[in-house]
Chains A and B, each alone.
Chain A
Amino acid sequence: MNIQAVKVIYKYEMLRTWHTLFQSIASPVLSTALYFIVFGSAIGSRIQAVDGVSYGLFIVPGLMMLSLLTQSVSNASFGIFFPKFTGTVYEIMSAPISFFEITVGYVGAAASKSLIIGVIILITASFFVDLRIEHPVWMVTFLILTCVSFSLLGFIIGLWANDFEKLQVVPLLIITPLVFLGGTFYSVSMLPPIWQNITLFNPVLYLVSGFRWSFFEVSDVNVGISLAVILLFLAICSAIVWWMFKTGYRLKQ
């Protein structure tokens, strides 16, 4: 295994975060703080407790998921799209490195960045609400699985996109609506029955629900199903990345 290559890709990608510190870290933290002020304090104070959890506290896992999903996708997609755009990807493709190692380098860095952002948001949230985490190990497990699987999805988008528009279109038109409609700011039980059934087709629901369970032991769906769905999603994304490299999709002619 070419450990040196994985290390330099990882380090290069992490360094990029410091070059764009505001965009990478300050921006999600600021937007989360605004969500807390608007939804948690201003509007939340007029909403009754959900499943016995105050509304301000209830939205913490959902807000973290909102940032984790969008940041994982955007970091990983940009990380591999940019070398394609500038042409420097030739160096990666001609190096003695396997697709697995390339993926570990890029996806590992993108997932690490999301994890850091997740932790920062958690700390930010602690200034607004009295945090409690019932199952810290499961919380960390869901956190890591989400960061890795959505970084893989971002990596796929970055490999697939051949212009900036395509790079933006999936996060904007698919990820964001799915996150907002996946129970980020509400419990599914608050929806009319027909919408409850439709929401069950939204994979993000399972992530938010499982994650929320690890905090408060309240969930919209069984936590086992949540875990199974995220593992299935991880497997599908891994298989797609494997196929893309095997066929050289948009990388190799």
Chain B
Amino acid sequence: MSAIISISNLSKTYEGGFQALKSINLDIRTGEILALLGPNGAGKTTLISIICGLVSPTSGTVTVSGFDIIQDYRQTRREIGLVPQELSLGAFEKAWDTLRFSRGLFGQKPDDVYLEQLLKDLSLWDKKDNELRTLSGGMKRRVLIAKALSHEPKILFLDEPTAGVDVELRKDMWDIVNKLRDSGVTIILTTHYIEEAEQIADRVGVINAGELLLVDDKDKLMKGLGRKQLIIELKDPIDKVPESLDSYAIELADDGQELIYTYDTQGKSTGITSVLQDLHAAGLTMKDLNTTQSSLQDIFVHLVQDNKSNA
């Protein structure tokens, strides 16, 4: 798939010396949903802000549909819609007026038919004449999405779109994102809710301390880097793990009723057979066996911790 956004050696050092991005290289594919994961201060918002023109890069280049974001900013910005993290909206203007303003700002001629459909799709049509200050937080978030889509962009950036949003609206939001992807819009989102990235993203990028630690297809990532756990339920509880099992990554859980063995699916051998044999030799009787696949969250935490310990 062709890249709609190409980021090469992008670095940003803010006044005061804080280096928010360290030589980022990333290609974002046309039509995909890319989730950027990372702890607070990792550099996610800085990366988005540079592409959208809100922050100047210190070095490196970014192209959008082949155009440079600085030299050809008019072409690149026309293609991009941004939903910021904060609920940054005026107070006294009406939803309808603010949408018309946004569309014009991005150089598009008025198109009330398109804007009407957009408001209907976002369940905002009945609020079109309401002053923005009277809308709930969730409705304001929808208005921000509508504003970002008002000029019919090909790329949509969602910066922490579900922060502070209730469960129902969050679900609605992901439905909207899915519909947009189906209509061909490329979506880049940052989120703290890893399970959402797991549900919705095609690819996942992990950023920590200004470095892009990895970018990969979500499914591949989970398969490839996923750690699995073998949960062994014992017939009789034990006080401590027998010495003969010390060499394995085994933990005692559930008041001695369970043994949890963590193994790497990428390893040459999982070690399950020998664990079970040694368990039998130690005189333990099994009641039940179960395996669990590690979540994206576990992978994420692992990567970030590794990154910290290597720093």
Q: Of residues 85 to 110 in A, which have CB atoms within 8 Å of B's CB atoms?
A: 86-88, 90-97
Q: Which residues of A contact B214 (CB under 8 A)?
A: none
- 10 additional A-B pairs beyond A87-B88, A94-B77, A252-B54, beta carbons within 8 Å, are A4-B104, A4-B107, A5-B106, A19-B92, A90-B88, A91-B105, A93-B54, A94-B53, A95-B77, A95-B106
Neighbouring A residues of B15 by C-beta, 8 Å: 253
For residue A94, give the distance in angstroms from its CB to the closest CB of chain B.
4
Q: Most chain-B CB neighbours within 10 Å: which of A15, A90, A92, A94?
A: A94
Q: Does A2 sit within 8 A of B, measured CB to CB?
A: yes
Q: Which residues of A contact B92 (CB under 8 A)?
A: 19
Cα distance, A218 to B84, chains bound together (Å): 57
Shortest CB distance B296–A (Å): 29
- Rounded to whole angstroms, the CA-CA distance of A97 and B292 in the bound complex is 52
CB distance from B248 to the nearest CB of A (A): 50
| CA–CA, A2 and B102, complex, Å | 13
The smallest C-beta distance from A41 to any residue of chain B, in angstroms, reads 39
B114 close to chain A: CB less than 8 A: no
Interface residues on A, range: 20 to 34
21 CB-based A-B contacts, threshold 8 Å: A2-B74, A2-B107, A4-B104, A4-B105, A5-B107, A8-B104, A9-B105, A15-B97, A86-B89, A86-B91, A87-B86, A87-B88, A88-B88, A88-B90, A94-B53, A95-B106, A96-B75, A96-B106, A97-B107, A248-B56, A253-B15
Give the residue of A15, A87, A95, A248 whose beta carbon is less than 8 angstroms from that of B105.
A95
A86 to B90, CA, bound (A): 7
- The answer to whether B88 touches A86, judged by C-beta atoms less than 8 angstroms apart, is yes
Q: Which of A203-253 contact B (CB under 8 A)?
A: 248, 252-253
Residues of chain A within 8 A of B77, CB atoms compared: 94-96
* A164 contact set on B, CB distance < 8 A: none
With a cutoff of 8 Å between Cβ atoms, the chain B residues found around residue A87 in the complex are 84, 86, 88
Question: Which residues of B in the span 54-97 have a Cβ within 8 Å of any Cβ on A?
Answer: 54-56, 73-78, 80, 82, 84, 86, 88-93, 97
Taken residue by residue from 230 to 274, chain B's Cβ proximity to chain A (1 for < 8 Å, 0 otherwise) reads as: 000000000000000000000000000000000000000000000
C-alpha gap A2/B103 in the complex (Å): 12
Query: A201 at the A/B interface (Cβ < 8 Å)?
Result: no
B108 within 8 A of A: yes
**B15, B97, B104, most chain A CB atoms within 10 A:** B104
Q: From residue B295, how far is it (CB to closest CB) to chain A in Å?
A: 33
Among all A-B residue pairs, the 10 with the closest Cβ atoms: A8-B104, A87-B88, A96-B77, A96-B74, A94-B52, A95-B105, A4-B104, A2-B107, A5-B105, A96-B78
Q: Verify B14–A92 contact, CB threshold 8 A.
A: no
The distance from the CB of A11 to the nearest CB of chain B, in whole angstroms, is 8
Which of B52, B54, B86, B105 makes the CB contact (< 8 A) with A8?
A: B105
Number of A-B residue pairs, CB cutoff 8 Å, is: 73
What separation, in Å, do the CA atoms of A105 and B52 have in the docked complex? 21
A253-B106 in contact given A12-B101, A86-B91 (Cβ < 8 Å) = no
Complex: A27 Cα to B76 Cα, angstroms: 44
Which chain B positions have C-beta within 8 A of A8?
100-101, 104-105
Given A8-B100, A91-B102: A96 touches B88 (CB 8 Å cut-off) = no
A132 at the interface (CB under 8 A from B): no
From B54, B106, B108, contact of A90 by CB (8 A):
B54
Count contacts on B: residues with CB < 8 A to the other chain.
34
B109 contacts chain A at the CB level, 8 A cutoff: yes
Q: How far is the CB of B245 from chain A (nearest CB, A)?
A: 54
Which chain B residues lie closer than 8 Å to A7 at the CB level? Answer: 104
Interface centre among A90, A91, A252 (most CB of B within 10 A): A91
Q: How far is the CB of B275 from chain A (nearest CB, A)?
A: 53
Give the residue name and chain of the B residue nearest to A94 (CB): B52
- B84 — which chain A residues lie within 8 A by C-beta? 87, 90
Bound state CA distance, A178 and B92, in angstroms? 35
A177-B222 Cα distance, complex, nearest whole Å: 69
Whether, in the assembled complex, B147 has its beta carbon less than 8 Å from a beta carbon of chain A, the answer is: yes
Q: Note all chain B residues with C-beta closer than 8 A to A5.
A: 104-107
Complex interface: chain B residues within 8 A of A252 (CB)? 54-56
- What residues on B are CB-neighbors of A92 within 8 Å? 105
A residues within 8 A CB of B105?
4-5, 8-9, 91-92, 95, 97
* In contact, B108 and A94 (Cβ under 8 angstroms): no
